Amino acid sequence: VAAIGSQEAEKKYESLLNNLSHPPAFTTVRVNTYLASVEHIRGLLCEEIHKQYASLSVPVLQHPQLPDILLIPVIGPRSDLQKLANEAIVGAQCGSAVLRGAHVYAPGIVSASKFMRAGDLVSVYSDIEGKCKRGAKEFLGTKVFIGNGISELSRSEIFNSNGPLKGLGIKMIEPIYLSPSFDNLLPSYLFLQNLPSAVVSYVLNPQPGERILDMCAAPGGKTTHLATLMHDEGEVIALDKIADKVKKIKQNASSLKLNCIKTFCYDGTKALEISKRADGQEGPPFVPESFDRILLDAPCSGMGQRPNMAFSWSLKEVTSYQPLQRRLFSVTLETSTIMIYSAVFSCVLESAEILYYLLDWIILTPHCQIISLQLCRREGMIGAGLSPEQLKQLQRFDPSEAVLQPMDLNSLQSVKHEDLIRLANKDCIGFFIAKFIKV
């Protein structure tokens, strides 16, 4: 606040909260170039979107700096939708998924009108405060309208079922934000991924035949991207300390037909072994300098994810990740010569301490340098107390800087291609990237 002024800081915070409640301006999807060309998959995707959008013409753009990334403009928010008498309430997480193009699956439904039947038109609302009681026939608390759909199940089928709920609950036909659904759409060829997450892999720049470590890898988006950029040649070691998350990494690697990924359920803070390893030991812990490059996408609060209409973090929670981030960072720089540190962020509070730690570490470690980044260039983080030179060495994507404006088909036709790309680089999730190299 001292750096940018209290009034400006307050305006920036209000802008941040407003922007976080809306989805990014584009749906970002990565093409698995190990299996097919971008041109071929882009053609198939255009055909599918044409079907989903009832022949409406929506462009699919290829990112000029990230050649395997395709961008689909998000249409909305739509103001012409009529709210219906039949209502269904979904959880905040489900509501966020709907705002990014998903249908409503049965486990996400918290409440439904008393006489809702299969086949009924229903208005869908998100319970952003998590206060709706499961099975309620009416909810008068805080809720946000996210569109209309057709119920696939009756109220009794949803709430009187003996077994676990599965499958589609409501098919969205009039979402307030129009984004394509990727349910079972070319699963071996397309992977939904936020734009800054794709930037990370390009900045690390893995090469075929190298040995790469992804320290906190789940669910595997960056892991599989690294393997793809390496043409599935070499070795990508993926760690996560939660078994179910490791299983998800394996599933994503299998779906994309990538074979160079090896997964281990292991705590990254214990991944360094100073003494000699046993002969033939493949997994962690690792001796120093075991890898050509390392990615540390550090655990964080995830405050920069979008959309997010429920802000429930405490100060203690926001700052609780910093000790873990520091421990992981220390381990990482001992096991490789090139390293990327990244995290989802939305506020200086969460990022400032780790930034100071990283830069102090560089000052005290002369053989290590921080590398200036140029890809989708956005400098530093004003308000963290960093000098202009330090800011130039860091990269961030800041949702508070995006100017939200409704997007419709008519306005799309008049916007230049380069302006759309510029908007995609700016109107995305909050993210921070730094690159280090030992010399």
Residue 24 structure tokens = 């990014």
227 is in an annotated binding site: no
Q: What is the residue whose two structure tokens read 């905040």?
A: 92
Q: What is the pLDDT of residue 298?
A: 84
Q: What is the pLDDT of residue 1?
A: 39
240 is in an annotated binding site: yes
- CA distances, 14 to each of 7, 347, 381, 401 (Å): 11, 12, 17, 11
Cross-strand pairs, 229? none
CB 406 within 8 A of CB 77: yes
219 is in an annotated binding site: yes
Q: Which residues are catalytic?
A: 347
Q: What is the residue whose two structure tokens read 């739509």?
A: 78
- Of 280, 363, 294, 353, the closest CA to residue 328 belongs to 294
The model's pLDDT over 57-106, given as tens digits with 9 standing for 90+, comes to: 889 999 999 999 999 999 999 989 999 999 999 999 999 999 999 999 99
- Please give the Cα distance from 272 to 286 (Å, whole number): 5
What stretches in the chain show pLDDT beneath 70?
A: 1-19, 55, 276-280, 311-315, 318, 345-356, 358-359, 361-367, 373-387, 390-392
Q: In order of start, what are the domains of the chain with their CATH numbers?
A: 87-175 (2.30.130.10), 196-438 (3.40.50.150)
Cα angle: 243, vertex 346, 180; to 5 degrees = 70
3-state SS, residue 71: strand
- Please give the Cα distance from 405 to 106 (Å, whole number): 32
- Please give the Cα distance from 413 to 73 (Å, whole number): 12
221 is in an annotated binding site: yes
114 is in an annotated binding site: no
127 is in an annotated binding site: no
**Pure H helices in 87-182:** 92-99, 155-159
Q: What is the pLDDT of residue 288?
A: 86
